[in-house]
Amino acid sequence: MKTTLKTTLKSLVLATAILSSSTLLADGASIYKKCIGCHGVVGEKVALGKSLVIAEMSEDELNKSMNGYLDGTYGASMKALMKAQLSALSKDDISELSTYITTFKK
Ligand code: HEC
C-alpha cells in the first residue's frame, strides 16, 4: 500500500514537471491568437499596412520592440495601438511571445 502511494506520488511529480516545461511555448501560442488578425497566423503580414513582418525579426528585436511599446521607447505612427495590445501582458508573457514568434522563421 505504502509503495503504491509512493509510486503514484512519483508519477504525479513527473507529470507536473513535464506539463510545466511545455507550458512555456503553449503560453506564447495562446497569447499570439489575438495577434493573428493583424500579423497573420505565422507573423507573415504587414499589420494594417504599417508594421514590419514580425516573422523576420530576431528574438532580441521582438523583445526590444514589444517592451519598447510598453515603456514608450519604441514605435512609429501606430505605437499607441500596439501599446494597447500588450498592456495586459507581463515581461514573461512578452518573452514567451518572442520565443514563439521566432518559431515562424523558415
Ligand atoms: C489591430 C492590429 C494589431 C494587433 C491585434 C496587434 N498588432 Fe502588432 N502591430 C500592429 C501595427 C500597426 C504595428 C506597427 C506599429 C508602429 O507604428 O510602431 C505593430 C507592430 C508590432 C511589432 C513591432 C514591429 C514593427 O513594426 O516595428 C511587434 C513585435 C508586434 N506588433 C507584435 C504583436 C503581438 C505579439 C501582438 C499580439 C499580442 C500584436 N502585435 C497585435 C498592429 C497590430
Separation of alpha carbons 83 and 75, rounded Å: 9
The residue extents of the domains of the chain are 2-102
The CATH number of the domain covering residues in 2-102: 1.10.760
Ligand 1: residue whose CA is nearest its atom 5: 35
What does the mean pLDDT of the chain come to?
89
Say how many Å lie between the CA of residue 22 and the centre of ligand 1. 26
Ligand 1, residue 66: give the atom nearest the CA: 29
Q: Answer yes or no: is pLDDT of 87 > 60.
A: yes
In this structure, which long-range contacts are made by residues 52-61, counting pairs with CB atoms below 8 Å and at least 24 apart in sequence? 54/101, 54/104, 55/101, 55/104, 55/105, 56/105, 57/101, 58/102, 59/98, 59/99, 59/101, 59/102
Distance of CA 93 to the CA centre of its chain: 6
- Determine whether the shortest distance from the Cβ of 94 to ligand 1 is under 6 A: no
Contacts 24+ apart (CB under 8 A), 4-13: none
Model confidence over 64-75: pLDDT tens digits? Answer: 999 999 999 999
